[in-house]
Amino acid sequence: MREPIPPSGLEGQIAALVQHITDDREQRCGRIRAAAEAQAHEIARSGRAEARASVHKAVSQERARVAQGLREAQARAELEASRRAQLRTRSLLEQMWTQIGAALESRWNDLQHRRSWIAAALRQAELLLSGPAWSIEHGAGWSSEERARLEELAGKGGARTIEWRRDPALRGGLRIRCAGAALDATVDGLLARRADIEADFLAEYLSHE
């Protein structure tokens, strides 16, 4: 039969057991606190990373939006500038076409310019037309002296016979026909190459602008 533990010894064992329980509890609580702190730290770290990623994404999206807005604004500005340039070019060409016919008629009516015009037309006829029989169409207002001078020049260019045809509709210039071919040196004939005239006019205009 076991001997009873003295009161002083029992108290000591109880105290030791209580201390052991206390120590174990504190250790468990410490481990729990450490795990909780680690988890909280990880959550905070993950949250900061997510926040940084979210901010970076938002910044990137905003930069892309701003860049796209700038590209769109630039494209709109370029389109508007192109539209204005086209309108300006069209206006210039319209003004040119309203004046160029009258300007050519004015040159034809000036005696000095008229002689140069006729001489240039006959030089081209000499190069482009073949055959001795020429038909020359002209408008109103030709003097016999002018016709005689033109016949002389045409003779030097290869014409042996000239048939004169008066066309009141001609605003200025002359048209020479020979062997089925024709050289149109009238005002309307000179203005027939519309695209070339517009290109030449714009090149000349821009060179002086």
Of 77, 100, 132, which residue constitutes the final position of a domain?
Answer: 77
Judgement on whether residues 13 and 72 belong to the same structural domain of the protein: yes
Q: How far is the CA of 56 from the CAs of 51, 59, 61, 65, 122, in angstroms?
A: 8, 5, 8, 14, 80
Say if 98 falls within a structural domain: no
Residue 200 confidence (pLDDT): 92
Domain of 165 in residue numbering reads as 110-208
Confidence (pLDDT) at 9? 65
| 187 domain residue, yes or no | yes
Output the pTM of the full model: 0.61
Q: What is the pLDDT of residues 194-208, one digit of tens each?
A: 999 999 999 988 888
Q: With respect to residue 28, please indicate whether it lies within any of the assigned structural domains.
A: yes
**Longest Cα separation, the chain:** 171
Same domain, residue pair 57 and 140: no
Inter-residue contact 175 to 186 (CB < 8 Å): yes
Please provide the size of the chain in residues. Answer: 209
CA distance 105 to 99: 10
Query: Domain with 163 in it: what CATH number?
Result: 3.30.2320.30
How is residue 56 written in tokens? 């970076």
Within the chain, which residues score under 50 in pLDDT? Answer: none
Per-residue pLDDT tens over the stretch 126-139: 888 888 899 999 99
pLDDT at 140: 85
How far apart, in whole angstroms, are the C-alpha atoms of residue 183 and residue 201?
A: 23
> Would you say residue 120 lies in a domain?
yes
Q: Tell me, yes or no, whether 66 and 136 share the same domain.
A: no
Would residue 103 count as lying in a domain? no
On whether both 59 and 116 belong to a single domain, the answer is no
Same domain, 200 and 135: yes
Number of domains in the chain: 2
